[in-house]
Amino acid sequence: MKKIALFDTKAYDKEWFEKCNNDRYDISFFESKLNPQTVELAREADVVCAFVNDDLNRFVIERLAHMGVQLIAMRCAGYSNVDYHSGQGKLKFVRVPAYSPYAVAEFAMGLLLSLNRKIHKAYNRTRDFNFNINGLTGMDLHGKTVGVIGTGKIGKIFIDICRGFGMRILAFDVYPDPNADFEYVPLGKLFSESDVISLHCPLTEQTKHIINKKAIEQMKSHVIILNTSRGGLCESQALFAALKEKRIGGAGLDVYEEEAEWFFEDHSAQGIQDDTLALLTAMPNVLVTSHQAFLTEEALQNIAEVTLDNIDAFFEGKELVNEIK
Ligand code: NAD
């Protein structure tokens, strides 16, 4: 039986991979993230299955290839953490391009609704029998302008949701959809006219720090920025400075530039050493969540099924429709 080493395992990963495996593979579930220190755990494996914050750098990939691992099966869509070029010709890479675009788009709207109407604050107040509503004023979303950067699977669903709220849509994408029934505008116009800006593009050299000091200077003073894509899209220091100086209205962050060290784990007893993340998390107009936008039953099932199908296709010599190359 072929062996899979599954890194960064959480209880929900184990549950769904065990449900979907049907005794096809011998899966070892490791809680550790994959990185140069843990790569030796994959010594017996034919396949390595990794996630968003595993570190698949050149060393790790060359080491895995040397140990006889044949396939890296990413159980996520983004692969900015994978130096796949260094493995070309030695092993193959696959991913799960879409597991539930609805999960992420719906979560982005959830962040917006909570932040705008201060639902997270109201929840804390009423649990303490504080029924005062001072300071909880929001704005009507109806008639406001939302700027969507990246109009792929998730961006388009988010646009549909925003339309349901009666919002005006402005979009930016380097590959605009010619059949789109919404308006594409240059990035500068999107920055200056939007009341809400939501990021739905991948992290690439071009998009790194797409939200930086210069971009923020063009925005409305009450703009709410939503990032459910990748932390590196926002320059954290610039975002923090703008929030502190009240040059923007708020931020909903499901991802963070340096999240790999902190997200998905419980640090409540020790606290964290990342001052920017600690300060952002403590700000009244910021809502930080721990990369959970994908976390629905449907998405977890799709992740497990598509990952195992990708692995089947590899061993059966079929076309790798989800290959990273
Ligand atoms: P997608 O590939 O369907 O769409 C991405 C869009 O971004 C494409 O239309 C592409 O043309 C556009 N794009 C690429 N470069 C751009 C640029 N420089 N400027 C503007 N647009 C650009 O991807 P998707 O499934 O919609 O996912 C979007 C992102 O969401 C992923 O890259 C991933 O990082 C993130 N994501 C996050 C979670 C989470 O749990 N928070 C889960 C899944 C995906």
Which residue among the candidates 230, 257, 261, 297 is catalytic per the annotation? 230
Q: What is the mean pLDDT of residues 129-135?
A: 98
What is the distance in A from the centroid of ligand 1 to the CA of 229? 7
> Any catalytic annotation for residue 319?
no
Looking at every residue in the chain, the average pLDDT score rounds to 97
Scan for tokens 């096809």, then name that residue. 24
The answer to whether the CB of 286 falls within 8 A of the CB of 278 is no
Write down the pTM of the prediction: 0.92
Q: Who contacts 286 (Cβ-Cβ below 8 Å, separation ≥6)?
A: 243, 250, 251, 252, 253, 280
How many angstroms separate the alpha carbon of residue 121 from the centre of ligand 1? 30
* 193 band by pLDDT with thresholds 50, 70 and 90: very high
How many Å lie between the centroid of ligand 1 and the Cα of residue 255? 13
Residue 198 pLDDT: 99
Q: Cα–Cα distance between 141 and 49 in angstroms, integer? A: 41
Of 75, 95, 200, 291, the active-site residue reads 291
Ligand 1 centroid to 181 CA: how many Å?
A: 19
Query: Is-catalytic flag, 259?
Result: yes
pLDDT band at 68 (very low <50, low <70, confident <90, very high): very high
Residue 303 CB burial class (10 angstroms; 0-12, 13-18, ≥19): buried
Q: Which of 259, 265, 316, 323 is catalytic?
A: 259
**Which atom from ligand 1 is nearest to the alpha carbon of 255?**
41
125 in catalytic set:
no
d(Cα 42, Cα 26) in Å, to the nearest integer?
13
